[in-house]
Structure 1
């Protein structure tokens, strides 16, 4: 057999990439290993990864939850918020993107510019007006302020999907129109099946953003039975008594499982959606 010869440049490249991978994954590894340590020794022995002794009960205590609600309740709340928000964000953004990419209407460039400008607005600017609006609608202490706004389109997703739609030949639209399809028929029967990578990419980003969101649940939710995972983890910390770091780290590991699974199963859509949306037809 012919010996495999590795060029020095390739060796250096792989060592460099492996070093970066270890550097990026180390905090996650430290979190995982610290979840098996005693709460009072986590930061004392932060330099050591190996727990001594191994404390498996952190996961049991953490899953029991806080305030009479198990951690499974918080995970279910997060899933409800994430799933409903993702469906609304992706479908509404796809429909808006189709309008900007394919339809002609008065003030198209003006409205598109206004939409893009909203991406530059800090969340702090709209936080108070949104709270006043939702308070007048009597939506506080419910999932509505977290879910309903997602059904009016997300500017970043609109731009991403619109760029993807532009790569689709307009001849397909014309052929469907000749066959009797309306504008909505063209969208649902022709465009929507062809923009699956962009839809999947938007769905994955929406899942990540909603899952890790903390500021909005803190503003709108005051009942523990409605808390998502992000707020539940914060409840393990107590400024007046001893914080249960072990249980919090254990449930942090549990909360990472859906994120990691989504990434590994759909990572090809992230690359394909972002790379293709940068092309122009």
Structure 2
């Protein structure tokens, strides 16, 4: 009993210390959003701002190139919502096909799909850019959102593992009642794989929200810029960077991510923990 009583305080001290280390960069960014731009790195060792610069949020919200930061947030939400819907729906359909249907070349196509998980995204940047240029999709969100409607390998694998935990007897009973393939998908599979779909949606939201490379490559008009591009525009390599407003908008851009995480953290854990089980 004495050992147990000693272990608990040590455990909480260790976990608390690790939490402080991991959260310190975020805390530093929040505090830096209240500092003057010229003092952000001069007084980097001091966490508390002196003096407090409360106008950074107003300056940051004014945006860049005549567009407020609200425009960038709206553009990001449009891309995130459309891309997430496409990724989740298409991936669930492909996962259902692999999990419940045997067809010619089933193993080959599944292996090819899994190999794409190991393919570095940088390898296909140039071919993709050439294709989108020939399709005249540049300076639009199409190159960013349309590929998501053809399935995301990681999400396909995640949902496939989840579908395999569903007893096949449910499919057989539904088939006897007159359900076809799409009936099985919509009436049996979709309602039962909601945790994995929620997990995929959350990850897709995170990835699209923080994506910088895609918008930099394909978006040229400031009116179509996303949050990540808007933050980048506060930095100027030739003159003084506007650090204060940039950190202020960085804090603001974290709000949707934090809200989504705290609301759906249960679904994230459930979707990942049960995707590897087979019953």
Q: Which TM class, normalised by the smaller chain length?
A: over 0.9
Q: Which residue of 1 aligns with 2:16?
A: 18
TM-score normalized with structure 1 length: 0.98
Hey, what's the Cα distance between the residues in 1 that align with 2:237 and 2:165?
54
C-alpha distance after superposition, 1:99-139 (max 9, x if no partner): 00001101100000000001111111100000000000000
Q: Which residue of 1 aligns with 2:87?
A: 89
Hey, what's the Cα distance between the residues in 1 that align with 2:186 and 2:77?
27
Quick one: which of 208, 222, 225 aligns to 2:223?
225
Q: Which residue of 2 aligns with 1:78?
A: 76
Unaligned runs of 5+ in 1: none
Deviates more, 1:10-19 or 1:76-85: 10-19
1:211 aligns with 2:230: no
Q: Which residue of 2 aligns with 1:201?
A: 199
Quick one: which of 256, 275, 278 aligns to 1:277?
275
Unaligned runs of 5+ in 2: none
Hey, what's the Cα distance between the residues in 1 that align with 2:99 and 2:12?
42
Q: Which residue of 2 aligns with 1:156?
A: 154
1:121 aligns with 2:119: yes
Hey, what's the Cα distance between the residues in 2 that align with 1:76 and 1:6?
52
C-alpha distance after superposition, 1:203-260 (max 9, x if no partner): 0000000000001111101110000000000000011111100000000000000000
Quick one: which of 254, 257, 279 aligns to 1:256?
254
Hey, what's the Cα distance between the residues in 2 that align with 1:48 and 1:169?
58
Q: Which residue of 2 aligns with 1:104?
A: 102
Q: Which residue of 2 aligns with 1:167?
A: 165
Q: CA deviation at 1:11?
A: 1.2
TM-score normalized with structure 2 length: 0.98
Hey, what's the Cα distance between the residues in 1 that align with 2:16 and 2:178?
56
Q: CA deviation at 1:6?
A: 6.2
C-alpha distance after superposition, 1:180-199 (max 9, x if no partner): 11100010001000001000
SS of the residue corresponding to residue 7 of structure 1 reads: helix
C-alpha distance after superposition, 1:149-191 (max 9, x if no partner): 0000000000000000000001111111111111000100010
Hey, what's the Cα distance between the residues in 1 that align with 2:156 and 2:235?
38
Aligned length: 278
**CA RMSD of superposed structures (Å):** 1.1
C-alpha distance after superposition, 1:72-92 (max 9, x if no partner): 000000000000000000000
Hey, what's the Cα distance between the residues in 2 that align with 1:107 and 1:235?
48
Q: CA deviation at 1:17?
A: 0.6
